[in-house]
Amino acid sequence: MRLVPTAAILLLSACASAPQTRYYSLDDFAGRQDAACAANNSAAALVKVQPFNVLPPFDTMQIVYRPPDLPQTIGFYASHQWATPPARMLAQATVDYLCRAGINAELTGLAVNIGEAVIVSADVSELLEVDTREGPSGRVALTLRVSNSNGIVFEKHAWGRAMAQERTVDSVVEAIDQALQAALSGVRAPLERLLAGTGAE
């Protein structure tokens, strides 16, 4: 009879029971348009969105959560991760938001020829699930900058929070998407005024 070391049995058991990693994206929700809504017409994109600067500890592929009653504590889901780096995912979601608002936008790189376009960039200070006794919610906080060939036109701190409909990670990711849209709604009006003032629209 062949004897198998106990340590090997425990290792195989741990591997067999390890949860499979699931991947999530804000693109999973409702009617996203293609990366460049500028392709829908012959005009060049009015707004170019750069990949966002996501600050630690949120600059990770793992989805971050904050336990209830522990405002200074965060955790990282081991088996729930973003499908793409948050810096690009949030910028892409911003492009989609602007497209749906009727603003011609596209995702671009960090090095870009500004020309006549308006550049949108951001520092993201929060991107997480916040757990409360009432249930989980999604929260996004960012400092968004709008600039053109003359430099920074305006800078605004914005944040959004949305309650998840269910106590699931899928529902939390949808809430994070809603929180981002709420944050972006605070800069939509000044951005539209800027574009109208330049005669770009």
More confident residue, 198 or 172: 172
pLDDT band at 9 (very low <50, low <70, confident <90, very high): very low
More confident residue, 172 or 40: 172
More confident residue, 147 or 109: 147
- Cβ atoms < 10 Å from Cβ of 172: 28
Per-residue HEC secondary structure of the chain comes to: CCCCCHHHHHHHHHHHHCCCCEEECHHHCCCCCCCEHHHHCCCCCCEEECCCEECCCCCCCEEEEECCCCCCCCEEEEEEEECCCHHHHHHHHHHHHHHHCCCCEEECCCCCCCCCCEEEEEEEEEEEEEEECCEEEEEEEEEEEEEECCEEEEEEEEEEEEECCCCCHHHHHHHHHHHHHHHHHHHHHHHHHHHHHCCCC
Taking the C-alpha atoms of residue 25 and residue 19, their distance in angstroms, rounded to an integer, is 19
Please state the rounded mean pLDDT for residues 173-191.
Answer: 93
pTM to 2 decimal places: 0.81
Side chain identity at residue 23, one-letter code: Y
Give the domains, in start order, of the chain with CATH numbers. Answer: 20-197 (3.40.50.10610)
Q: What percent of the chain has pLDDT over 70?
A: 77
Q: Of 89, 91, 47, which Cα lies nearest the Cα of 191?
A: 47
More confident residue, 11 or 188: 188
Asked if residue 3 has pLDDT above 50, the reply is no
pLDDT digits (tens, 9 = 90+) for 135-150: 999 999 999 999 887 8
- Cβ atoms < 10 Å from Cβ of 137: 21
More confident residue, 197 or 200: 197
Asked if residue 53 has pLDDT above 90, the reply is yes
pLDDT band at 1 (very low <50, low <70, confident <90, very high): very low
More confident residue, 18 or 38: 18
Average pLDDT, the chain: 82
